[in-house]
Amino acid sequence: MITLALDAMGGDSGPEAVVKGAYIANHHYKIPCKFLLFGDESKIIPILKKYPQILKKSKIIHTDCFIASDMKPSLALRKGRDSSLGLAIFSVKNGESHAVVSSGNTGAYMALSKIIFGMIEGFDRPAIPAIIPNMYGHSIVLDLGANIESSLKHLKQFAIMGRAMSTTLLNKKNPTVALLNIGTEFIKGPPILQDSYTEFNNSFEKNFLGFVENIMKTHADVIVTDGFCGNLVLKSVEGTAEFINKTIKNEFSKNLFSKIAALISLPLFKKLKNKLDPRLYNGAPFLGLKQTAVKSHGSSDALGFANAINVAYQMRNFPSNLNSNII
Amino acid sequence: MITLALDAMGGDSGPEAVVKGAYIANHHYKIPCKFLLFGDESKIIPILKKYPQILKKSKIIHTDCFIASDMKPSLALRKGRDSSLGLAIFSVKNGESHAVVSSGNTGAYMALSKIIFGMIEGFDRPAIPAIIPNMYGHSIVLDLGANIESSLKHLKQFAIMGRAMSTTLLNKKNPTVALLNIGTEFIKGPPILQDSYTEFNNSFEKNFLGFVENIMKTHADVIVTDGFCGNLVLKSVEGTAEFINKTIKNEFSKNLFSKIAALISLPLFKKLKNKLDPRLYNGAPFLGLKQTAVKSHGSSDALGFANAINVAYQMRNFPSNLNSNII
């Protein structure tokens, strides 16, 4: 039986989203696993009592120490080892669980998991990927981390990690990879992208699709960019989707006619919403670590957390897969 | 009477979109201007005959020389002066017209207009802005040009140009400005953005709103970024809007029920489409030039071209406004 370590104190919704998320993961997604719940037992127990099925499969590891959402990574490294997050990470390190999930402070989580797990040889720093739906399916886009500058070596590491994740999580056999740029022509972009083009061509051969400029219109399984551009692009995609969603809602609530139209169209919009619901894409593994740590969005609810649990379950053996993928 | 120089041979739709665009600009937008049409008269005359109102207000300047959409700027500089685009630019330089509009080759257009018009002192290179609708109205985002790296000095020039454009085109009295970054906190981003934060704070004082990470959720009238990130963000916004549009269309055409729902919702979607129609935002002036040149999208139709004509008309005195805005 697989055991997952859950930081019950991270994120805006705390233990409520975590315990209910575990319930959804177990009972709706049918993920066969047990849980270690790290945090304040006086807060966790009342919620667990509402989900007796999860109560049976869980063990609480009590701690009064939590990492605040604005704690600096350097401070978390000094003071955070006995926190709910730190203990959850150590439980994986010690073999008591197979992977850890937290909605807590990203910087602290990344720093602690990097120091406790260590990096796989050949990878310099953890990368954060996102799965983004597009015209033809989905792409894994990375890096979305706080790594602001990326050298050719880092971009290549991102490509290797992204391809391994595509195989492990999305069952792609020979994932294709592309580089994000402001045009698709070979001559476009700054020198680092032109050098990367040559390097990717040599390393990934026919699986390298060249430059891509529109992440919504590509067949590439993996899209590589640096952490700064990746962040900007992800926020633009999310912002635009939210803007259109609000504009549609406004139009549909203007008068009686539009409200009737909304009522009739509702089932169709539900389908659209289900397809684009960011909660369904929640759960970003820190790639390159020797063991599996999954970051759930700070504002994620139970459904979002359940998806992060699913990612942790599917990705529990990812580090050994990645190890065998190093070029 | 204002005279606008139109390159009739640029863009995918050629003279058809240009002449019909002039008609829409004159008769729907009520822009009081005459036109100089540059290009192959054997192609322009038959179309002009369909629009007798425009025929009366136009003069054709015939040339057999055109700039191909893939011609390198360096070649355009050597060979393009007698082209429809080159002659149109010269007509502004010589005082025969007040501004030029073309849907042709961006690189060639920018190079020719820069060399023929020259830059206003204090500005190093032309910037390309876009007007992007958002939750609270519109923002001018720049630079979207091919300028890949931007120094602090350039970012500040973009801010000054963007603010002047906001006043000239959108009638904003004290336009606010923000810097695009991966977070809104002061400490976020690479050194150049942190230095720019300090510089913008000193120069624009209370009109500087700091960092913005979501261009869809900002009150800033002007959003400053370098040409690489600006391009990536614009393409992500356009790509996401197109993706959602297609997904909605697919859902609404699946079966009889959804088709009925579509029929009923149609007037609402038309409103949404009108609000987000990229043709309505067509027409990007090259900012920083001593005279006014407006770039229309290569694939723009007559409605798009009419909007570019409108921008050229509104922005015809922009260079002198900009001159007085230099800090």
Tracing tokens 């740590």 back to the chain, one arrives at A293
Share the mean pLDDT of chain B: 91
In chain A, whose CA is at the least distance from the CA of B217?
Answer: A239
B264 membership: H or E segment, kind and range: helix B256-276
Residue of A nearest to B242 (CA): A216
Work out the average pLDDT over B254-280.
76
Specify whether the CB–CB gap between B293 and B268 falls below 8 A: no
| Average pLDDT value for residue range B113-122 | 95
Closest alpha carbon within chain B to A150: B190
Residue A271 has pLDDT above 80, yes or no: no
Query: Which whole number is the average pLDDT over A36-48?
Result: 96
Instruction: Find the mean pLDDT for residues B38-66.
Output: 95
| pLDDT score, position A262 | 74
Higher pLDDT, B190 or A100: A100
Strand order in the sheet with A58-62: A58-62, A33-39, A2-7, A99-102, A292-295, A284-285
- Provide, as residue numbers in chain B, all residues whose Cβ is less than 8 Å from the Cβ of A232: 180, 182, 213, 229, 232-233, 236
A215 touches chain B (CB under 8 A): yes
| The predicted structure's pLDDT at residue A146 | 65
Q: What is the pLDDT of residues A56-97, one digit of tens each?
A: 999 999 999 999 988 888 999 988 899 999 999 999 999 999
Residue A278 has what pLDDT? 79
**Burial call B246-268: b when 16+ CB within 10 Å, e when fewer:** ebbeebbeeeeebeebbebbeeb
pLDDT of residue B241: 86
Cβ–Cβ pairs < 8 A, chains A and B: 143
Token pair recorded at residue A223: 């899209």
Q: Reading across the β-sheet that carries B208-212, which strands appear in turn?
A: B130-134, B137-142, B222-224, B177-180, B208-212
The number of angstroms, rounded, from the C-alpha of B327 to the middle of its chain's C-alpha atoms is: 24
- First-to-last C-alpha distance (Å) of chain B: 33
What stretches of B94-187 show up as alpha helix (H) in DSSP? 106-117, 152-170
pLDDT band at B326 (very low <50, low <70, confident <90, very high): low
Mean pLDDT of B275-280: 79
**DSSP secondary structure string for all residues of A261-284:** HHHHHHHHHHHHHHHH-GGGG--E
Q: Is the pLDDT of residue B137 over 80?
A: yes
pLDDT value at residue B249: 80
Q: What is the mean pLDDT of residues A27-55?
A: 95
Return d(Cα B172, Cα B327) in angstroms, integer. Answer: 18
Contact B228 A190 (CB under 8 A): yes
* Distances, alpha carbon A74 to alpha carbons A103, A110, A111, A114, A176, in Å: 19, 11, 8, 12, 37
CA distance A251 to A249: 6
Nearest alpha-carbon partner for A176 in A137, A150, A143: A137
Provide the pLDDT for residue B248.
80
**pLDDT at residue A180, as a whole number:** 96
Residue A325 has what pLDDT?
63
CB atoms within 10 A of CB A327: 11
Is ipTM > 0.90 here?
Answer: no
Q: How confident is the model at residue B257 (pLDDT cuts 50, 70, 90)?
A: confident
**Disruptive mutation site among A240, A246, A271 for chain B (greatest number of B CBs within 10 Å):** A240
Residue A270 has pLDDT above 90, yes or no: no
Is residue A327 pLDDT above 70, yes or no? no
Q: Under an 8 A CB cutoff, do A247 and B216 touch?
A: no
Report yes or no: A196 and A152 within 8 Å, Cβ to Cβ. Answer: yes
Looking at the complex, report in whole angstroms how far the Cα of residue B180 sits from the nearest Cα belonging to chain A: 8
The whole-number pLDDT of residue A257 equals: 74
B253 contacts on A by Cβ (under 8 Å): none
- CB B239 to CB A214 under 8 A? yes
Q: Taking CA atoms, what residue in A is nearest to B254?
A: A268
**pLDDT score, position B325:** 63
Query: What mean pLDDT, rounded, does chain A reach?
Result: 91
Choose the closest CB to A237 out of B146, B236, B269. B236
